[in-house]
């Protein structure tokens, strides 16, 4: 068995609990990371929604990062993938993978943290406090996208604050031991910057006007021949999102179970931050985000801005037309199917 991959039985017994497979169910291969984006898989398994929707987990493959997920597209080892916005853009650029759903809005989960004794001065006059200084950040990340949006809002020009590239896992210690006044990272790391390094969150991506999404993507060739299967999986995921939005306590229980089995250790306060810093969209909100009836959709604009940033960073070669990869067809399919729509809405 390859590293990171689980056969159906092992997956059901290990990563997402037990749910007896049914012969009539359609298997679907899913790639994911052990992050909040995978919690709906745990919830769906706990609630036996795979069986109800006529699906069963096929090969469930966990990856350490989105770039690795995208590299695996060519092997066709997965059909649908749960990932952040940047790898979804990379996948669209390299393999024409299609974004069919927003998993969560991560805009409030990416932020800038200042040293506690400098936070007030930074908030009062960011230009005076930060011009010519440095900031810690994982290069070419959504955290940097959020940080640079905050800098623009504060009146700082490109290059006024110099980025110091550092891995996410090393950022807290570096922030604690250095004289760098600010760092940019995502939850739960920025909570650790506050609790372990005396920092203070001074700006989020949402504050700076940067929308950061995580996406459900599908291999283009798979979607063309398996629309109904993808629609059922998407409806199941939407039902789990609706459950998460309405049931915080049970979601945190599912989160702990999922993280424990995936080897991710978070404190109760960190899990709470994981949940609280995300926004969750129901079916009607998703449809509105993808709607092009009056011109480019809201999601088209979001992805264009994100793509421009990552093109400038060298992550992707060009800014693609969102119409080539931001795909509303799956949501439209669900909307037209009364049973699927009701299932997605938790009815």
- Domains of the chain, first to last: 5-105+212-344 (3.40.190.10), 108-208 (3.40.190.10)
SS (H, E, C) 239-291: HHHHHHHHCHHHHHHHHHHHHHHHCCCCCHHHHHHHHHCCECCCHHHHHHHHC
Whether 9 shows a pLDDT value over 80: the answer reads no
How many whole angstroms separate alpha carbon 11 and alpha carbon 124? Answer: 51
* Mean predicted confidence (pLDDT) in 181-198: 92
Residue 14 predicted with pLDDT over 80? no
pLDDT classification of 65: cutoffs 50, 70, 90:
confident
pLDDT at residue number 312? 87
Answer for the pair 291, 323: CB distance below 8 angstroms, yes or no.
no
What does pTM read for this prediction? 0.88
Closest CA to 343 of 253, 232, 251, 179: 232
Helix, strand or coil for residue 88?
A: helix
Check residue 116 and report its DSSP letter. Answer: T
Residue 167 preceded by cis peptide, ω within 30: no
- pLDDT value, residue 347: 87
pLDDT for the residue numbered 1 = 37
- Of the given ranges (18-32, 53-67, 258-272), which has the lowest mean pLDDT? 18-32
- In this prediction, residue 237 carries a pLDDT of 98
Residue 215's contacts (CB-CB under 8 Å, 6 or more residues apart) are: 82, 83, 84, 85, 88, 99, 101, 102, 103
- Whether the CA torsion 156, 160, 161, 164 is positive or negative: it is positive
The mean pLDDT of 19-37, rounded to a whole number, is: 79
Q: Does residue 5 carry a pLDDT above 70?
A: no
pLDDT digits (tens, 9 = 90+) for 244-277: 999 999 999 999 999 999 999 999 999 999 999 9
pLDDT at 316: 83
The average pLDDT across 164-178 equals 92
Q: Is the pLDDT of residue 346 over 70?
A: yes
Which residue is associated with the tokens 């400038």?
312
Percent of the chain residues topping a pLDDT of 70: 93
- Strands 182-186, 110-115: pairing kind: antiparallel
| Phi, psi dihedrals of residue 213, rounded to the nearest 5° | -115, 155
Burial of 130 from C-beta contacts in 10 A (0-12 / 13-18 / 19+):
buried
> Is the pLDDT score of 18 beyond 70?
no
CA distance 244 to 275: 9
Dihedral sign of CA atoms 301, 151, 113, 311 in order: positive
- The stretch 140-164 carries a mean pLDDT of 94
Residues in CB range of 330: below 8 A, 6 or more apart: 100, 101, 218, 223, 227, 230, 231, 234
**The pLDDT of residue 139:** 87
Single out the residue of 49, 30, 166, 171 nearest to residue 113, CA to CA: 171
Q: How confident is the model over 181-188, as a mean pLDDT? A: 93
Say if residues 68 and 37 touch (Cβ distance below 8 Å): no
Lowest average pLDDT, out of 101-110, 184-193, 211-220, goes to: 184-193
160 has pLDDT over 90 = yes
Between 19-28, 46-55, 287-296, 324-333, the lowest mean confidence (pLDDT) is in 19-28
Which runs of consecutive H residues, i.e. helices, occur in the chain?
8-10, 39-46, 49-53, 66-71, 85-95, 119-124, 126-130, 142-154, 168-177, 189-197, 205-208, 220-225, 227-246, 248-262, 268-276, 283-290, 298-312, 329-336, 338-344
pLDDT 10s digits, 208-251: 999 999 999 999 999 999 999 999 999 999 999 999 999 999 99
What's the whole-number mean pLDDT along residues 306-332?
A: 91
Average pLDDT over residues 152-164: 95
Of 46, 41, 106, 20, nearest to 262 by C-alpha is 41
pLDDT at residue 142 is higher than 50: yes
Question: Rounded mean pLDDT of the chain?
Answer: 91
pLDDT at position 20:
39
Residue 232 CA to residue 25 CA, distance in Å, equals: 11
The CA distance from 322 to 195, in Å, is: 40
- pLDDT-based confidence at 314, cuts 50/70/90? confident
């Amino acid at each position: 068995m390859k590293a990171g991959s689980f056969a159906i039985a092992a997956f059901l017994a290990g990563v997402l609990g037990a749910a007896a497979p049914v012969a009539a169910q359609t298997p679907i291969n899913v790639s994911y990371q052990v992050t909040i984006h995978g919690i709906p898989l745990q919830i769906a398994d706990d609630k036996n929604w795979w069986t109800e929707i006529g699906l069963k987990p096929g090969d469930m493959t966990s990856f350490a990062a989105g770039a690795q997920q995208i590299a695996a597209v060519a092997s066709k080892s997965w059909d649908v993938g749960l990932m952040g916005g940047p790898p979804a853009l990379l996948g669209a650029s390299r393999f024409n993978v299609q974004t069919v759903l927003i998993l969560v809005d991560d805009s409030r989960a990416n932020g800038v943290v200042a040293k506690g004794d400098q936070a007030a001065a930074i908030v009062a006059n960011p230009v005076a406090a930060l011009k010519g200084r440095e900031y810690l950040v994982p290069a070419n990340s959504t955290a940097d996208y959020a940080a640079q949006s905050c800098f623009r809002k504060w009146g700082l020009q490109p290059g006024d604050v110099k980025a110091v590239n550092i891995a996410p896992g090393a950022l807290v210690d570096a922030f604690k031991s250095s004289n760098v006044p600010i760092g940019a990272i995502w939850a739960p790391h920025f909570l650790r910057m506050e609790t372990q390094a005396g920092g203070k969150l001074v700006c989020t991506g949402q504050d700076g006007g940067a929308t950061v999404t995580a996406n459900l993507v599908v291999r283009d060739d798979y979607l063309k021949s398996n629309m109904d299967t993808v629609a059922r999986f998407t409806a199941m995921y939407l039902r789990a999102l609706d459950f998460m939005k309405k049931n915080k306590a049970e979601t945190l229980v599912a989160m702990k179970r999922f993280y424990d089995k995936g080897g991710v250790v978070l404190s109760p306060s960190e899990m709470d931050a994981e949940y609280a810093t995300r926004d969750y969209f129901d079916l009607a909100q998703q449809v509105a985000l993808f709607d092009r009836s009056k011109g480019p959709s809201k999601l088209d604009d979001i992805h264009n801005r994100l793509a421009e940033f990552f093109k400038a960073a060298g992550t992707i070669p060009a800014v693609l037309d969102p119409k080539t990869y931001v795909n509303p067809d799956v949501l439209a399919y669900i909307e037209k199917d009364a049973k699927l729509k009701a299932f997605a809405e938790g009815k």
